[in-house]
Amino acid sequence: MNLSGIRNFFWPSLCGLLLGLCILAYLPEKDGQSDFTRAVERAAPAVVNIYTTKVVQQRHPLADDPLFRHFFNRSGRVRQQLERSLGSGVIVSERGYLLTNYHVIKGADEILVMLQDGRQALATVIGSDSDTDLAVLKIDLENLNAIPVTDPGQIRVGSIVLAIGNPYGFGQTVTQGIVSATGRYGLGLSQFENFIQTDAAINPGNSGGALIDTQGRLLGINTAIYTQSGGSTGIGLAIPTDLALRTMEDLIQYGRPLRGWLGIEVQPLGVGTNGVIITALANNSPAKDAGLRIGDVLTEINGEAVGDGHAGMKLITYTRPGETVQLGLLRNDQPLTVETEVAVRPQVRGS
């Protein structure tokens, strides 16, 4: 065979081999495992079931009625009754720290955590934050599997996601869907809202569980559903990991979230318009000390547009107290730039 014949034989053969390898790379594995299976195997050991018990005081509605107390020999004493509820949580540290929703453990006298491998432990509440509906628990067990975490900013609408939790107390359950939207806010569910919306089935008991990507990495903490029937209707909401982990770190280190604060109340200029008008200034606030006035229009923070106010509020909230921000304003239609140091957001009593 001459040189030309060798070339004519070699290159088609090489191309065919490479094509075959590419096809094999995309074929299902012989053991039947898919990317979803591997993702669940990676994340599921870190998702726990949470069972809470609360002691509630009950009095009979007619306890103060003299006739009722006479004929039925009731003293009107208060009876104690145990109230139980369930939810989910996510192990985010091998040291035993868990993330869950505040509403899952609110008022609980005892919190029992059950792991996927069957182990159980009573949990201690490290801290909670009603403004984000998050709570941090700690359990003392060895060989814990912490869930891998990813940046939720990397996901896009249409990305496939999986929800893992304990719906209706059935035990650990996995559902699949897509990211329907990001940055959902204004729903009145919590003070600071920046939800990931998904159509993965989330039901009562899923609260506090994990929303993961197809590699088994944590994207958010499943928190709520929009429903009129009480069951899943294809609108589930999760707190993104960046907000959840920052809140957790603050609760562990400081006992409360440390959020930036300027001390202003604002209203948007209008739909689709960038800018918010300052309607109130708090006394002894960074905004007032910097010379801001009621009627000023805030348009930028550190060069970023504030939009209808949500983007600006998020940026200030995420700014660490003590850091300086540059504010772009309009005063009497004239541009103005002001710098001020962000303070710690005052803690609202009862939060």
- Residue appearing with tokens 């001390």: 263
Structure tokens at 272: 């689709």
Q: Name residue, tokens 């600006």.
A: 312
C-alpha to C-alpha distance for 41 and 94, rounded to whole angstroms: 17
Is residue 64 part of the annotated active site? The answer reads: no
- Per the residue annotation, which of 128, 129, 131, 133 is the catalytic one? 133
Catalytic residue (choose from 207, 213, 296, 308): 207
Which among 85, 88, 103, 213 is annotated as catalytic? 103
Look at strands 195-198 and 124-129 and give their pairing: unpaired
Distance between CA atoms of residues 127 and 140, nearest Å: 16
Spell out a b/e string for 156-184, using b for 16 or more CB atoms within 10 Å of the CB, else e.
eeebbbbbbbbbeeeebbbbbbebbebeb
- Give the whole-angstrom CA distance, residue 275 versus residue 309: 7
In the residue annotation, 310 being an active-site residue is answered as no
Q: Do residues 241 and 258 make contact, with C-beta atoms less than 8 angstroms apart?
A: no
For the annotated catalytic residues, the residue numbers are: 103, 133, 207
